[in-house]
Structure 1
Amino acid sequence: MNDKQKMHSQALYNPDDPEISKIQLTCLERLYDFNQTRPSEQKLRQQLLHEMFAEIGEGCYLEPPFHANFGGRHVHFGDRIYANFNLTLVDDTHIYVGSRTMFGPNVTIATAGHPILPELRAQGYQYNAPVRIGENCWIGASATILPGVTIGNNAVIGAGSIVTKDLPDNVVAYGDPCKIARQVNQHDREYYFKDLKISSDLLAKYMD
């Protein structure tokens, strides 16, 4: 197995492999083009995203600047995903994000890690583990999601959280390390923020 194949196997590999570096440079050139677009150039942004990403669905919006080690080459987005400023995807291996998920500003998703053993790390060795995020999640500002983590559908991750372990569907979680605070519950069907109530018209439109 060569280093390019090891990138997606969780094996240790050398990221300075010339073939990998050549591919990465091409990806970063396209990422640079995306980040230089003007706000009025929405069609160009969409075109570039479809060229950059492994998969990207309909209606996705990424607010530049967007940062990614491979410019989205290993990123799989569903439909109608929104990312605020400075989304950082360390996409050395695959990142999967379900439809209608939202990212606050300065969120980081990392798939790459380095061995703790100093002798190996000094030689530049790296390993990667994929990250999976479900549908309809809300990832708060400056949250960090670490390699190998899976987050379930409808999860809400509080701002500034460091997500080190898997999280199930329908939970509110936050902290460093990120822990489940509670389930999405009846209170959330009545209030959208503190003591501010959801209107009955809105509830009737979207709730069973």
Structure 2
Amino acid sequence: MDSDLEKMLAGQPHNPASPVLSQMSQLAHRLCRDYSLHTETDKVERDAILDKLFPDHKDGIHVQGPVNVDYGKFTHIGKEFFANFNFTVLDGASVTIGDNVCVGLM
């Protein structure tokens, strides 16, 4: 494992521009862009992007979009999750969202 990745996950000072972290964040940013370009009617495409962006998620995840994350892969989402517009996760450390959570509702 890359030392900057290990440092980041341990909450220690690290270089976010290291080759490994930079490559991971660029992929996440491309996936966020692609997700945001699709509409709610593009469910198959959006679900496939969410699977790549948040590989550790349970069933019933819905994100309105646009979505923005640092890495995505360090965000763990429980079942029956809903996020309204402009869902942003700064997952330079592990982020866990439990079951039956709604973000951004009135």
TM-score of the superposition, structure 1-length normalised? 0.48
Q: Which has the higher strand share?
A: 1
Deviations 1:9-52 (A, max 9, x none): 01111111122111211221111111110221112111111111
- Say whether 1:3 aligns with 2:4: yes
State the AA in 1 paired with 2:30.
E
Distance 1:60 1:101 in 2: 10
Per the alignment, residue 35 of structure 1 pairs with 36
Structure 2: how far apart are the matches of 1:68 and 1:2?
A: 21
Task: Report the secondary structure of 1:7's partner residue.
Answer: helix
CA distance in 2, matches of 1:85, 1:97: 17
Equivalent residues of 2:74, 2:93 under 8 A apart: yes
Corresponding residue for 2:104?
A: 104
Q: Which residue of 2 aligns with 1:21?
A: 22
- State the shift of 1:54 in Å: 3.3
Largest Rg, 1 or 2: 1
SS in 1 for 2:86: coil
Residue of structure 2 equivalent to 1:195: none
Q: 1:19 is matched by which residue type in structure 2?
A: V
2:26 aligned partner, one-letter code? L
CA distance in 1, matches of 2:52, 2:15: 26
Match of 1:84 in 2: 84
SS of 1:48 mapped into structure 2? helix
Structure-2 residue corresponding to 1:151 = none
Matched, 1:68 2:69: yes
User: Cα RMSD (Å) of the superposition?
Assistant: 1.5
Larger helix fraction of residues: 2
Work out the CA distance in 2 between the residues paired with 1:64 and 1:80. Answer: 16
Q: Which amino acid aligns with 1:44?
A: E
Following superposition, the deviation at residue 93 of structure 1 comes to 1.7
Q: Identity of paired residues, percent?
A: 23
8 Å CA contact retained: 2:75, 2:94: yes
Distance 1:55 1:96 in 2: 10
Q: Which runs of 5+ in 2 are unaligned?
A: none
Task: Give the alignment's TM-score, normalised by structure 2.
Answer: 0.90
Show CA shifts across 1:41-81 (max 9, x none).
112111111111131111111001111112x2211001000
The 5-angstrom pairing of residues 26-175 of structure 1 reads 26-70=27-71, 72-104=72-104
